[in-house]
Amino acid sequence: MKKLLLALSLSLVLFGCAPTEEAETSSVLQESTAAVSSEAAETVSVTISLTDGGTVIAGSEKTLEVEAGANLLDVMKENYEIEEADGFITAIDGLAQVEASAETKAKYWLFDVNGEPSMVGAADVALQEGDVIVWNLTEM
């Protein structure tokens, strides 16, 4: 009789634990799925290209997957060869700004965000889904 009661008690304990473990496993699975979904939601696609006097530089256009809100300057440093001075980009992929001289006009790197000239520096531009950035080596 004691063996029967012990066996019955053990089976109740085991069955009593099963739904809790199943619920915990389900909860962990849901949390993992949510974490993966939120990670996927945190990346955005942006397009960056370089122009010289309005002409697209061959091979310069890149469509990149970046973290939402990433700053443009950091993205440029990760994907192009950048030279900078005093917080300003002075050369991109070996194409440098030109200071004015008796023979040449000055040329500087300026950029547009979604077709509009940026009013802030690249370090202050937080990238969002679908942004189109055009860097133009502009004669002044």
Q: Give the containing element (helix H, strand E) for 92.
A: strand 88-92
Sign of CA pseudo-dihedral 97, 57, 92, 136: positive
Neighbour tally for 131: CB within 10 Å: 18
Instruction: Say if residue 27's pLDDT is above 90.
Output: no
CB neighbours of 62 closer than 8 A, spacing ≥ 6?
47, 48, 49, 79
Largest Cα separation within the chain, whole Å, is 110
Q: Partners of 55 in the beta sheet?
A: 52
The tokens for 131 are 């942004």
Identify the pLDDT of residue 33: 52
Does the predicted model carry a pTM greater than 0.85? no
Instruction: Say if residue 28's pLDDT is above 60.
Output: no
Among the ranges 13-17, 84-88, 98-102, 122-126, which has the highest mean pLDDT value? 122-126
Helices (H), the chain: 2-41, 72-79
CA 63 to chain centre: 11
Instruction: Say if residue 128's pLDDT is above 70.
Output: yes
Using one digit for the tens of pLDDT, what is the confidence trace for 73-104? Answer: 999 999 999 999 887 899 999 999 999 998 98
